[in-house]
Structure 1
C-alpha cells in the first residue's frame, strides 16, 4: 500500500509544470487541464508533504527552498517514468525484446546490417540496441547482453568470444600517391588519425615495429572508429582501425591497405551476458545465430 506522504504522478506533473512556467494558468494549458485542477493538485501535494512549495508573489509562483529541493528530484523521476514507458512501448506487439549494449562502430557496421536476416527467422523478436563503450552493469542497466571487448566482462557474467580484433592501417588511395603500401618509417611521418578512447593504438603499432613512438602522436582525434574511417575516406590522414569496421570502405575502394602488417588487439570482440539471460529462449536463439554468423 502506498504511504500517504508519497506524491501521485499527477501531483508531480502539476508541481513540475508550475515550477517551470510560474503560474497555474500556464501550467494548466501545458498539461491540458483546468486551472482549478492544477491548483488542487499543488495544494494537495503541499498538504501531503506538510511544507509550502511555492511563494505567491504578484500572481507568480516562486519556488520555496523546499520547492527547489523537490523540483530537482521531480523532474528526474518524471523523466525516468517517461523512459520506462517508452521502453515498454518498444515491445510494439512483439512477444520478446532483447536489450543489447553494443560497441558503437561494431554495432553499426557489423551487427545491424545482419539483423534483417535474423528477423526473417524470428519475427516475434525485436531489439532495443544502445551504443556503449564502457562496461555494462547488467543489474543496474537492465541489458540482456552486451557485445564489447573481453576486458569489459563483469564478474559472474558469461562470455562467448566472437572474433579477435585485427587492426589494419588504411588510407584513401590519393593519400598514398599511387603507392600500394608504406614502410613504417614513412607512416610515422604521415598525419595519423587518433581514436580518443583508444589513444595508445599508434603507440602499440610503432612499438611493435621497433620504432620510437614518442614522435608520432599527431593528427585529428575522433571518439568512435566510424568517425576515424570517414576521416580517412575524406583524406584527412591514415587510420589504424579494426578491419571488421572498415570492410565496406575497403570493398568500395574508398580505402586501401597502407601497410602489409596487422596488429592483433589485446581483447577480442565478445558476447557478454548475465546468467538470467540463459533462461530466455529468445536470447539463446539469438546467441546461437550470432555465433553461426561469426563462423561464416
Structure 2
C-alpha cells in the first residue's frame, strides 16, 4: 500500500529551498521552476504532514517551529540522496561492485596500496570501501565482506587471514637523536602516543619487557593508528603501531625504530564473508587475489599462517576459511 503521507523528492526540494531563500519566488528561481509549481509542492507537503511549515507574513515565509524541526531532517535526506546518487554514478558502466567494510588504517596502509594490481587483473570489478572500526551487519548494510581483527567469522562465515598483528615502536629521528633506543626502559622517559581504541598496547609491550608500567599513559591520544603515525612523524612522541602502517615512513626516513622489541598479538587481520558472497564470481575473483597476496613471502607481506605456510587457493564455489589463531570477538584496529 502506498504511503500517501510520505513527501516526494520534489516537495522536499521545494520546502528546503523556501527555508533557505525565505520566499516562494526566490525558491522558484533557485530551482528553475515556476512560482506556482513551488507553491503547489509546499501546499501538498503541508497537507500531508498536517502542520503548517511556514507563517505567511506579507510576501515572506517565516518558518514555524515544526518547519524548523523538519528542515534539519529534510536537508539531511536530500544530502544523503545526492551522495548515494553520486556514489552510484561513479561506478559508471561497471557491472560488478563489491562492498567491503575495512578498518580505516588497514584500508589506507595495507589494502589500498595493493589495489592497483587487482584493478589491472580485474578492471570490470569496482570496490566500494567503507571505513568501519566495529563489526558490521553484512546482511542489513549489504556488505560482501569485511576486514577485522578476528580469528574467524561468525557461524556460517568464511575467513582468510591477511596480516598478523605485529606492533613496532617508532619515533621521529629528531626525538631519538638519530638512532634507535636499544634499552626498552629508556622509552619510559619519552612521551608515548596512545591509541584510544586499544589503550593497553603500551601496557602489554612494557609488561613483556618486564618493566614498571605505572607511568605509561601520558602522551597524546588518537582514535586511529593513521593519526598516531602522523603524531610520531611530527615528533610528538613514540608510537606503537602495526608494522604495515609505518613501512613507507621507515623507508623514507621519517621514522626510525625506537627499540628492537616488537609485540605480536592475536587475533590477526582477517577477511570475513558470508557464504552468499562466494556465489558471486566477482567476489571469488577478489578472494583469489587476496589469497595470493596472503601466500606471498613474509618479507613482502607478513600475512602467512602461524606455521609459515601461505593461505590455500580457494576452489570455485566453496572457499576454505583462513587459519584460526584464537577465538574471540572481532576487535578494533
- TM value normalised by structure 1: 0.90
How many angstroms does 1:124 deviate by?
0.6
CA distance in 2, matches of 1:155, 1:67: 47
How many angstroms does 1:109 deviate by?
1.6
Contact 2:100 2:145 in 1 (8 A): yes
The correspondence of residues 59-98 of structure 1 with structure 2, limited to 5 A, is: 59-68=59-68, 70-98=70-98
Please give the per-residue CA displacement for 1:147-177, whole angstroms capped at 9, x wherever unaligned: 1211795565432221210011112334333
Q: Secondary structure at the match of 1:44?
A: helix
CA distance in 2, matches of 1:198, 1:2: 48
Q: Secondary structure at the match of 1:227?
A: helix
Structure 1 or 2: more helix by fraction: 1
CA distance in 2, matches of 1:151, 1:166: 15
Contact 1:166 1:265 in 2 (8 A): yes
Task: Provide the aligned C-alpha RMSD in A.
Answer: 2.3
Contact 1:135 1:154 in 2 (8 A): no
How many angstroms does 1:286 deviate by?
0.5
1:233 corresponds to: 233
How many angstroms does 1:5 deviate by?
3.0
How many angstroms does 1:68 deviate by?
4.3
How many angstroms does 1:51 deviate by?
3.8
Q: 1:151 to 1:90 in 2, by over 3 A?
A: farther
Gaps of 5+ in 1: none
Q: 1:38 to 1:154 in 2, by over 3 A?
A: farther
Please give the per-residue CA displacement for 1:14-73, whole angstroms capped at 9, x wherever unaligned: 122213332112211222212221011112223344443322123222333543454344
CA distance in 1, matches of 2:258, 2:49: 68
Please give the per-residue CA displacement for 1:69-102, whole angstroms capped at 9, x wherever unaligned: 5434433332332233223213211111222222
Q: 1:47 to 1:181 in 2, by over 3 A?
A: closer
1:280 corresponds to: 280
Q: Which moved more, 1:22-31 or 1:172-181?
A: 172-181
Q: 1:69 to 1:231 in 2, by over 3 A?
A: closer
